[in-house]
Amino acid sequence: MKFSRQLTLAAVVALAAVSCGTGSDTPIYKDASQPVEKRVEDLLSRMTLEEKAGQMNQFVGLEHIRANEAHLTPEELRTNTAQAYYPGFPADTIEQWTKEGLIGSFLHVLTIEEANYLQELAMQSRLQIPIMFGIDAIHGNCNCPDNTAYPTSIGLASSFNTELAYKIARQTAAEMRAMNMHWTFNPNVEVARDARWGRCGETFGEDPYLVSRMGVESVKGYQGDMDSDDVLACIKHFVGGSQPINGTNGSPTDLSERTIREVFFPSFKAGVEAGALSLMTAHNELNGIPCHSNEWLMTDVLRGEWDFKGFVVSDWMDIEHIHDLHATAENVKEAIYQSIMAGMDLHMHGVYWNEAVCELVREGRIPESRIDESVRRILDIKFRLGLFEQPFADPQTTMDVRLCKEHRETALEAARQGIVLLKNDGILPLDAKKYRKVLVTGINADDHNIMGDWTAAQKPENCVTILEGLRMIAPETEFVFVDQGWNPQEMSQAKVDEAVAKAGRCDLNIVVAGEHMFRGNWSKKTCGEDTDRSDLDLVGLQQEMIERIHATGVPTVVVLVTGRPLSVEWISNNVPALINAWEPGMYGGQAVAEILYGKVNPSAKLSMTMPRSVGQTQMIYNHKPSQYFHPYVVKPSTPLYPFGFGLSYTEYEYSDLSLSSEEMSADGSLKVSVKVANTGKTAGTEIVQLYLRDRFSQVTRPVKELKDFARVELAPGEEKTVEFTITPDKLMFLDKKMKPIVEPGEFIVMVGSSSADKDLLTASFWVK
């Protein structure tokens, strides 16, 4: 680290005391006993225009700048969306601006030492306004080394466990504050409806209701009471980027207002109602208007309709892209003007923002009162998070929180609950006495890639690979490992041949296939941010290897490690056991092994539909009735595995679906109950799902929509009655004039183990 010094605990305390001010002449904004609103207004009144513009701007960290200016060319910099530096403005310049109070926020600061150092520089400024550090803590703060890496959101959503989402967010907040981080760019509450899109793994899947429920609990977990123990949540990306016209991140999105309001808005609105105090706009244009200059989104809807109280932040250089990509602004200054006047509050990231904002105000194009609105929102958060009283974190105690025993246990439990068993012809759980010699191979068999996208390189002891997990759980078994390397695009034919040869001499074969998401190999990824696919097949020689290993006649199990649904129809039709582990995090290897050997009974259900091929795109469960009026020819129109599907090592039987009444008033409620029995010999957890359909309506409605779910633990032979309550909000839709309505008529209730018709019991009731 290239810092002048590391802060000692004594220095931290001393500087914190200075930042708070002492004596009777203490400004109001430094007086913690004063109301936040009063402190904000006092500070705002003391600020110059340049200082205000600085609070609205974010920079990448010093070490990030130094690392990237050493190897990135200006041309590479122009199109890079993960790494940055500022040509002509070295790290020393950024340090000086921080001392002058001209920078309000940093991102890509990855150590407590750098965060404290930058905060120390800010304390030398005229007003001593603390820095707010943002970080992509997407599934834990593991974009920084030495932090807990939980499963990614797509796997967490497959647990259907909202309490677990809250718990992970709370623990992430604790680890962030222990590093002097204050703001996570999460949760991603986009509704992922195109598996080609590389960022599916960051989301909670394809269903608006499930995404909303998981997103709300994440927001509450991060933000808590919004004080010194909490962090700021950021709901993103607003809106529509998860259904791009060609599946690629940031490409145009063209959606009807009905689809926007019924599919994509609900999770954001729920996040706002849960108290989210920052929101990030999307890379893409929406119906011809870049989201970063979209007044309808940021002002009319977000603030006008939903009464959003927080601030709006841009995504990586996307204000500049209004000019150089979307071409709706003649220059960057005009792009900044358009974005601010549309409702933007904070810029990620760059050196020319401050100058342009000040010019626009002095030219009279942007009223200073408009700048004050944004700065007021940003300062409000800094005061509420206690940054003026606690600008530093203690390096002596940071590791008491990070990677602590409780957080590690949560990461393991989340992995266990998010791994989906897709197929089992009786081979699982594995019998260690029967399968004494087991081949293990595949690109993800012994790789930290299982931690998923948005993960920094972690110490070996902080990740259990699948091979390590197998050896841990079945120590008496001889595991024959053939390393296929980590890069599916550069697999060796010789190594594939070696695996096939050894497969025939083993009792069982385990192939761990899938995608590569590790950010450290940015240009080699096949999944993750800015890594979109024109097909959903296994990359490289993986499919060939699986087919040849299967052809040996030795029983074969395939485990997928992936951040998106993959089309693995041949595997599903031929291999006796298939598991989708998603990106299971730091203890994913242990969890996979526990499930394979029956130490844990799988319970997860798919949070995204798995298509048979990319040609089925768009493949979602909540489609409109006419979508398959004319089915595909040659191949089926049905998915490979539907939303909500997942197997167990026991059997569940549903019976006696009943309604408390055959009628419901438009402002009333109705109870739905169903009996669920564990008819097998293994204890398990079943995820019971409730779907609704409006039988006839004035506008077309989906064939079914998830409206509730419950995790039910059942001992062998045990039966429980599960009860749901249907309320008017679960029946509401937008009428022909886009007004919310609960329409009289028949509604169909469906309850069961997945979204597939064959897995559902049905009944109906009438709304009067």
Q: Note the pLDDT of residue 78.
A: 81
Q: Please say if the pLDDT value at position 79 is more than 90.
A: no
Instruction: Report the C-alpha gap between 499 and 509 in whole angstroms.
Output: 10
Backbone angles phi, psi at 643, to 5 degrees: -55, 140
Tokens describing residue 22: 């002492």
Q: Note the pLDDT of residue 70.
A: 85
Q: Please say if the pLDDT value at position 389 is more than 60.
A: yes
Between helix 265-273 and helix 208-223 the angle, nearest 10°, is: 30
Q: Note the pLDDT of residue 569.
A: 98
Q: Note the pLDDT of residue 3.
A: 53
Q: Note the pLDDT of residue 22.
A: 45
Instruction: Report the C-alpha gap between 237 and 462 in whole angstroms.
Output: 31
71 — pLDDT class (breaks 50, 70, 90): confident
Average pLDDT of span 698-712: 98
Q: Please say if the pLDDT value at position 77 is more than 90.
A: no
| Enclosing H/E stretch for 319 | helix 318-324
Average pLDDT of span 58-87: 89
387 — pLDDT class (breaks 50, 70, 90): very high
Q: Note the pLDDT of residue 305.
A: 98
Given the residues 315, 380, 447, 453, the one annotated as active site = 315
Query: Does the active-site annotation cover 315?
Result: yes
Query: What is the 3 state secondary structure string of 157-198?
Result: HHCCCHHHHHHHHHHHHHHHHHCCCCEECCCECCCCCCCCCC
Digit-coded pLDDT (tens) for 359-374? 999 999 999 999 999 9
Q: Note the pLDDT of residue 72.
A: 85
Q: Please say if the pLDDT value at position 320 is more than 50.
A: yes
Digit-coded pLDDT (tens) for 201-215? 999 999 999 999 999
148 — pLDDT class (breaks 50, 70, 90): very high
Please report the sign of the dihedral spanned by the C-alpha atoms of residue 194, residue 199, residue 201, residue 206.
Answer: negative
- The residue written with tokens 């089925």 in the block is 616
Average pLDDT of span 374-385: 98
Average pLDDT of span 601-608: 98
Digit-coded pLDDT (tens) for 557-596? 999 999 999 999 999 999 999 999 999 999 999 999 999 9
In sequence order, what are the residues at sequence separation of 6 or more whose Cβ sits closer than 8 angstroms to the Cβ of residue 449?
443, 486, 516, 517, 518, 561
Tokens describing residue 417: 């609950």
Instruction: Report the C-alpha gap between 221 and 205 in whole angstroms.
Output: 19
Per DSSP, helices labelled H in 385-508 are 398-401, 405-418, 466-473, 493-503
Average pLDDT of span 19-25: 54
Digit-coded pLDDT (tens) for 498-535? 999 999 999 999 999 999 999 999 999 999 999 999 99
Average pLDDT of span 244-249: 96
Instruction: Report the C-alpha gap between 766 and 745 in whole angstroms.
Output: 5
703 — pLDDT class (breaks 50, 70, 90): very high
Average pLDDT of span 623-636: 95
Q: Note the pLDDT of residue 553.
A: 98
Digit-coded pLDDT (tens) for 169-201? 999 999 999 999 999 999 999 999 999 999 999
Q: Note the pLDDT of residue 137.
A: 98
Q: Note the pLDDT of residue 145.
A: 96
Digit-coded pLDDT (tens) for 716-738? 999 999 999 999 999 999 999 99
Query: What is the 3 state secondary structure string of 330-343?
Result: CCHHHHHHHHHHHC
Q: Please say if the pLDDT value at position 13 is more than 60.
A: no
Q: Note the pLDDT of residue 257.
A: 98
Query: What is the 3 state secondary structure string of 536-605?
Result: CCCCCCHHHHHHHHHHCCCCEEEEEECCCCCCCHHHHHHCCEEEECCCCCCCHHHHHHHHHCCCCCCCCC
For residues 711 and 160, is the Cβ–Cβ distance under 8 A?
yes
Q: Note the pLDDT of residue 82.
A: 84
Instruction: Report the C-alpha gap between 101 and 400 in whole angstroms.
Output: 32
Q: Please say if the pLDDT value at position 162 is more than 50.
A: yes
Q: Please say if the pLDDT value at position 633 is more than 90.
A: yes
Tokens describing residue 269: 């609105």
In sequence order, what are the residues at sequence separation of 6 or more whose Cβ sits closer than 8 angstroms to the Cβ of residue 411?
140, 148, 149, 150, 151, 585, 586, 587
Q: Note the pLDDT of residue 80.
A: 82
Tell me how long the chain is: 768
Distances (CA, A) of 207 to 160, 515, 609, 755: 12, 23, 10, 11
Q: Note the pLDDT of residue 24.
A: 60
Q: Note the pLDDT of residue 76.
A: 83
Average pLDDT of span 303-316: 98
Average pLDDT of span 66-95: 88
123 — pLDDT class (breaks 50, 70, 90): very high
Mean pLDDT in the chain? 96
Quote the distance between the C-alpha of residue 548 and its chain's center: 36
21 — pLDDT class (breaks 50, 70, 90): very low
Q: Please say if the pLDDT value at position 310 is more than 50.
A: yes
Q: Please say if the pLDDT value at position 19 is more than 50.
A: no
Per DSSP, helices labelled H in 385-515 are 398-401, 405-418, 466-473, 493-503
Q: Please say if the pLDDT value at position 304 is more than 70.
A: yes
Tokens describing residue 244: 């791009």
Q: Domains along the chain?
A: 1-133+346-351+364-387 (no CATH), 403-628 (3.40.50.1700), 652-767 (2.60.40.10)
Closest CA to 583 of 739, 454, 719: 454
Q: Note the pLDDT of residue 722.
A: 98
Instruction: Report the C-alpha gap between 120 and 54 in whole angstroms.
Output: 17
